[in-house]
Amino acid sequence: MEYRHLGRSGLKISEITYGNWLTHGSQVENEAAVACVHAALDAGISTFDTADVYANTAAETVLGEALKGQRRESLEILTKVFGPIGPKGHNDTGLSRKHVLEACEGSLRRLGTDHIDLYQAHRYDYATPLEETMQAFADLVRQGKVLYVGVSEWTSEQLRAGAELAKDLGVSLVSNQPQYSMLWRVIEEEVVPTSKELGISQVVWSPIAQGVLTGKYTPGGDLPAGSRATDDKGGASMIQRWMRDDVLSRVQELKPIAADLDLSMAQLAVAWVLQNENVATAIIGASRPEQVHDNAAAAGVRIPADALERIDAVLGDVVERDPAKTHESSPKQREV
């Protein structure tokens, strides 16, 4: 495993982060979830990402239990606040001071820790003044309950405003957590250049495009049993955008490139996002330990320039690049 600095901070995180969206407390039994966490630790992964909204707080609880007994100083635990939790009352969502402070206490309790390494605003809250949100984050940092502050799926303009406020409050905004993969490149035009300027790293999710980039889905073929595309708890709706014959056909054409590099398709996909110098880590999810080990092997891989060009040539116009698509992952539409 290799490690990278998060933004301009001194914090180092593993190039591969283990995330438990759609799995812990939902898709997989707790025993399997714990096995995946332990596989991640065995692979050298030190960074773990979750959110209070995942499985309505259950994912944080499962992760906290799975990490019990580990040396806390050797881990980086990331979680997020915004989405509706608990009974989903009128103050159980958003980035108001009330919700941020109360949500943090809940996350600390469920994770079984006295501090969160990176606390992230899961989305931008248009209903709360940004000043109120950043002040709440700054107070949590001063209390020692949060070490670093990040956001998720913010636009370049939102990142700029948040970073300026954070600086005025004496804290640093060090990360953004966007969707990013060979097929979904909407951050490259605006978010990445702005982030480089501001000293913000990307903590990217869905580098394998919900499993599509593994090549296991074929045009006109049957859906593999137990795959994300067959999950009626949310996975199937998330993957739907990629389940087109033109996309699936192009993905099949990536197999010779992966073979030439002696990589699995999943490793190629994860390694591809890590070629972007603004990406600090790629979040992987898993339902089986062997998936963790396969994905983790992408750490440290350097893809030659000619192979990157071949990938671009193969995927061509099926790649999504429109920056306006950044707003598609609003929690009003789905939880991420």
**Residues contacting 58, CB < 8 A, separation 6+:** 24, 25, 26
Q: Select which of 3, 18, 54, 217 is catalytic.
A: 54
CB of 252 closer than 8 Å to CB of 318: no
End-to-end CA, the chain: 26
The 3-state secondary structure of 180-232, one letter per residue: CCCCECCCCCCHHHHHHHHCCEEEEECCCHHHHHHCCCCCCCCCCCCCHHHCC
Q: Which strand (E) or helix (H) includes residue 149?
A: strand 146-151
CB of 298 closer than 8 Å to CB of 265: no
CB of 21 closer than 8 Å to CB of 53: no
Annotated catalytic residue 54: yes
* Catalytically active residues, by annotation: 54
